[in-house]
Amino acid sequence: MNSSGPSALAPAHRAIELIGSDLTEKSLRLHLEGLSGVDAVGLEQRAASLGTRSIKTTSKAWALDTIIRLIDLTTLEGADTPGKVRSLVAKALTPDPQDASTPRVAAVCVYGDMVPSAVEALGSAHGDPDAGGISVAAVATAFPSGRASLAVKLADTADAVAAGADEIDMVIDRGAFLAGNYGLVFDQIVAVKEACRRDDGSYAHLKVILETGELNTYDNVRKASWLSILAGGDFIKTSTGKVSPAATLPVTLLMLEVVRDWHRLTGERIGVKPAGGIRASKDAIKYLVTVAETVGEEWLVPHLFRFGASSLLNDVLLQRQKLSTGRYSGPDYVTVD
């Protein structure tokens, strides 16, 4: 791969509109390297200050329900079975059997080969979370490492879409990104986006996982976010959950700022999904505050913000039970995942 030559890139319309019709590795590089650097201290201070808000009583009740509505309930284990996916779906449909007022989660997130099981288990509840349904999200492109040829990644994606996945969570090629091959990363995202096309011409939503824990610097996170949006991502997602550190508040804040800048520039709304490591309601509420303060409350809807989580849901349910009964609840009163 020629990393610095004038080789043309895949014609992604966002990039062409912003950078110009001579979209090449070089012009993309110039654009990304022209982004201003991130003030790391300021970013972390801002994130820390957003985490100090006190959210109580009715605000807390609203926040807990909102968190549930925004969860991508996830199981991504080598030991996943169709039975486990069915129980995950059952939990997504009825998070708290003792309380029918509990909202449903936004989506279930599984490996590509488990999509048929999830679709079958969801039945008529399968649909757009904004319309009360539950989506099926599939991780693809040789998740979590992304170390496979493009052909394999595309086949992986097309398979999941054909099986009924509404959303594809792809990983970027971090090796190529860190080596400076931005064009390669860009072309792969464009190609995967095309693989998300269904027979009827519509597209599965594409979430682009940056795996910020492997990108090392905030500057890289900003570049990768920008690159993913230019290439056509509908969502940018922090992490696979397989690498530590996974989602952190400063990184999510930084990605939200990119999304805000993009919205100001083009009027287009991009989604953000922090994933991995968010286990407590208290932490999740900090993310809600950060979203509301950075891009606005209108982002707190399933097609613009998600939590990638599994154990978070149980903690939110415990907090909900505490609010409704006035007593502290315990892990015996939620499902064992």
Partner 1 sequence: MSRLAVPKTYKLYIGGKFPRSESGRTYEVVSTKGAFLANAALASRKDARDAVVAARGAFAGWSGATAYNRGQVLYRIAELLEGRRDQFIDEVVATEGASRPSATKQVDTAIDAWVWYAGWADKYVQAAGNGNPVSGPYFNLSTPEPTGVVAVVAPQSGGSLLGLVSVLAPVIVSGNTVVVIASESAPLSAITLSEVLATSDVPGGVVNVLTGSPKEIAPWLAGHADVNALDLAGAEALDWVDLQISAADTLKRVLPPVVGIPSPSLDRIVAFTETKTVWHTKSLI
Positions marked catalytic: 169, 237, 273
Residue 170 three-state SS: strand
CB closer to partner 1, 200 vs 332 = 332
Buried b (16+ CB within 10 A) or exposed e, 248-281: bbbbbbbbbbbbbbbeeeeeebbbbbbbbbbeeb
Residue 95 three-state SS: coil
CB closer to partner 1, 83 vs 331 = 331
Q: Quote the least distance from Cβ 329 to partner 1, whole Å.
A: 5
Half-sphere exposure of residue 225, counting CA atoms within 13 Å on the CB side? 30
Nearest to 180 by CA among 219, 229, 148: 219
Q: How far apart are CA 284 and CA 277, in angstroms?
A: 10
CB closer to partner 1, 296 vs 331 = 331
Q: Quote the least distance from Cβ 285 to partner 1, whole Å.
A: 15
Lookup: tokens for 314? 């149980």
Q: Quote the least distance from Cβ 327 to partner 1, whole Å.
A: 4
CB closer to partner 1, 35 vs 280 = 280
Nearest to 275 by CA among 293, 248, 296, 256: 248
Q: Quote the least distance from Cβ 75 to partner 1, whole Å.
A: 23
CB closer to partner 1, 259 vs 318 = 318
CA 303 to centroid of chain Cα atoms: 10
Q: Provide the binding-site residues for partner 1, judged by CB under 8 A.
A: 321, 326-333
Q: Quote the least distance from Cβ 328 to partner 1, whole Å.
A: 4
Helical axes 182-195 vs 218-230, angle rounded to 10°: 40
Q: Backbone phi, then psi, for 329, in 5-degree steps?
A: -100, 175
The sign of the dihedral angle between the CA atoms of 138, 142, 146, 151 is negative
